[in-house]
Amino acid sequence: MFTGSIPALVTPFRNGKFDEVVFRAHVDRMIEGGSSALVPCGTTGESATMTIEEHNYVMAVCIDQTKGRVPVIAGCGSNDTKVSLAHLRHAAKAGAAAGLVVLPYYNKPSQEGLYAHYSYLAENSPIPILIYNVPGRTSSDISVETLARLSRLPAIVGMKDASGHIERVSAQRLACGSDFCQLSGNDDMALAFNAMGGVGCISVTANVAPKLSADFQKACAENRYQDALALQDRLYPLHSALFSDSSPAPVKYALSRLYSDFSPELRLPLVQPSDHSKALVDAALSHARLI
């Protein structure tokens, strides 16, 4: 259902407010660069520090600006199942193709609790759901067995896997079937992820290098792995640098280096990246020949 390079969009702020003009221009850049879908209001979009009204508005602006050119996978996660369902319903009304639902954070549900959470959403959601597994942020991790049970529900169509366990791509493929959409949540692992059966990446780096990220995914899809490796080598320092401090601080700094109207502003408790992180980003942008 979803393949290729899919930017996990940053949300630009200026003086504490959502910068809609800059965001709309950013959406256009992502599409013009060859992105195959967009994800607003995810972790990279600082959804954790948005009000529900802001969350829904940013989602709607993204869908409006795409004008049907690419599908939108709206961030709809919450540690409250009913809030997540409310996000899914709003996303459907706004025209999203699917919802990306992160594992409930802080609560630390059991595997049975995770199944109950996602099965409830699957039964009630008006749009398809992709599960987002990122244990480093949620302190929860979905097992291959639980994922296999959920994959049998028609509304659960795939996942963003940021577990960091590359071997799971094969295990999940065997357990869930080859039609279950596996998208990498780690840019630095996307080459191996695709070689093992993945079909794309929900990417932070694509915010900064949309065309290179799209070209990389296209090379993988066409089994041109020597071309993909060359692009991996060009992009790898950027993949690393963008996580050299708390994300999305480095990626917002990178965008401010590329575009004069893009503010690196973040919402507390996030702050600007360290000088060391900035130096790594600058070097990586140069290595990728973006500056």
Would you name the residues annotated as active-site residues?
A: 132, 160
- Using an 8 Å Cβ cutoff, are 63 and 95 in contact? yes
CA of 218: how far to CAs of 194, 208, 227, 231, 232, in Å? 11, 17, 10, 11, 12
CA angle 28, 32, 36 (to 5 degrees): 95
Q: Which residues contact 229 (CB under 8 A, 6 or more apart)?
A: 191
Which residue stretches of 179-224 are H helix? 190-195, 210-221
Distance CA 159, CA 92 (A): 18
CA-based nearest residue to 103, from 139, 72, 144: 139
CA-only gyration radius of the chain, Å: 18
End-to-end CA, the chain: 34
Distance CA 126, CA 95 (A): 11
Distance CA 257, CA 11 (A): 16
